[in-house]
Structure 1
Amino acid sequence: MDINYHEIAERAASHALKSNITLDYSEKSIAEVESILGTYYDHLAEYDGKDGADTLWNVAVHYGIYLGETMLRLGMKEKGFAWYIDDGMPVLKNQAKAQISPVTKAHKRILNGPEDNVKSFCDVAFLLADGKFPDKNVHRAINVHLPSGQVIENVLYRDIASYITMIETGREDFLILESQDGFFQFYGVNNQFVCEVRVNLPDGDFHTYSVIDKAKEQQTRRVQLTTPYGQFTPAEREVVSLEVVNMVVRAYYEHVKTDDFLGAIPYIDTTEITKRCMGL
């Protein structure tokens, strides 16, 4: 089968440009593809039936091949990787028989959501190309902690909404999303929530952050917030809506690296205050 991979990748880039998104085969463009595929996931209900499934597969093929072409340009070609057809599927392989399937991953991203993040997938691919085994920080596995002490392990993004609803409706006091490098927790009721993040560093230190309402960034006056979890006096900017909570939860699933996660959310650094309160 003679496939012009560059031409298919260029069609993906042209399609993205219609939404004012530039795909230039850079590492940054991988995050753009992640965002594009995420939009399809958000609108899955609009692609029902065989025609819808065919459309999504076509999208996955184009953007998956774009990802493959990008990885080749970013060093994987020099590592011996090239396109092959394996059982009818375009894949990247090298002489050591290491195999990567960006088309399959793009399709999973569309169908499954952020837990099949293509940026993390590409990070893994680059490590494999360098002969390195991915460490535990490549993927973000989420365990949900409830006030009762119950821990639900490996909760997928598509299943997290039911737990968020427990807090929204007051059925649970708080929710903790624990990952391998820290946790994200929030509490509140009636569309008023406080969200906090802790990041554990490799050297044993830690940083903490509070999510803020960007529109109220300068509003530092303390306000009274009564929740099923108790009474609190956060700064006004630290009281956020459910929409912000959902955005941060999604970003927590999507971005494994702390800098990427923080770059996607509005926050303030509370490390110094937290450590002072802990007597550290």
Structure 2
Amino acid sequence: MRVFLVTLFMSLLSLSESALANPKNTFSPDANVQKMAEAYAQDCIDLSKKQFNMTLDGSDASIAKVEEALSLMHESFLKMSPRPTEAQVMSFAKAFGSYIGEVYRKNHGGTWGIVTMDGERFPGIQTKSGVNFWPWARARNRIMEGPENNVADYYRVLLEK
């Protein structure tokens, strides 16, 4: 299943902010996706403490610390030769994206599941107001593409929806 999820996330490269409110998205709740996200979010908490000496407390404010960690990862990504593979980046993106999603879900409500958009299916969250988002892709884009994919800004936009 892990290989399947990585493959699905490779297709997310072209997703934009406007996709957040795309009415053509469909969503199916999935308890297994939530269990996986909960485990990955705990991995993020552990990794942040060990590698970055950051304590993530589950608050909305902690997303700024996630942005700091992802910024450091982006800087490292740019300096590495050869650069990490998509699969290597996704292992971190799943952890940090799951943390972002879990903070949102626990603090503001929402459900993990499968989002279908343009025939592609991938894990994401649906908010109480019906907005679908996929924090793994945003974390991946932050690591690989840089500050234009700031996760703290992304989170603030989600809070406004």
Aligned 1:4-19 pairs, distance under 5 A: 4=35, 5-18=37-50, 19=52
The percent identity for this pair of structures is 25
Does residue 113 in structure 1 map to residue 113 in structure 2? no
Matching residue's letter, 2:82: D
2:122 to 73, 89, 93: 89
Matching residue's letter, 2:96: Y
Deviation at 1:60?
Answer: 0.5
SS at match of 1:43: helix
Matches of 1:47 and 1:15, distance apart in 2: 23
SS at match of 1:24: coil
Matches of 2:81 and 2:126, distance apart in 1: 32
Deviation at 1:88?
Answer: 4.3
1:197-234 CA-partner distances (Å, limit 9, x unpaired): xxxxxxxxxxxxxxxxxxxxxxxxxxxxxxxxxxxxxx
Q: Which residue of 1 aligns with 2:14?
A: none
Q: For the structure 1 residues 123 and 96, does the alpha-carbon distance in structure 2 shift closer, same or farther, using more than 3 Å as the test?
A: closer
SS at match of 2:85: helix
Matches of 2:95 and 2:135, distance apart in 1: 10
Matches of 2:99 and 2:81, distance apart in 1: 22
Matching residue's letter, 1:27: D
TM-score, normalised to structure 1, is: 0.41
1:58 to 77, 91, 104: 91
Give the structure with the larger strand fraction. Answer: 1
CA RMSD of aligned residues (A): 1.9
Matches of 1:48 and 1:73, distance apart in 2: 38
Matching residue's letter, 1:10: Q
Give the structure with the larger helix fraction. Answer: 2
Deviation at 1:47?
Answer: 6.3
Q: Which residue of 1 aligns with 2:106?
A: 73
1:247-267 CA-partner distances (Å, limit 9, x unpaired): xxxxxxxxxxxxxxxxxxxxx
Q: Could you list the runs of 5+ residues in structure 2 that have no partner in the other structure?
A: 1-29
Matching residue's letter, 1:46: M
Which has the bigger relative contact order, CA under 8 A and spacing at least 6?
2
TM-score, normalised to structure 2, is: 0.69
Matches of 2:61 and 2:100, distance apart in 1: 11
Matches of 1:59 and 1:38, distance apart in 2: 13
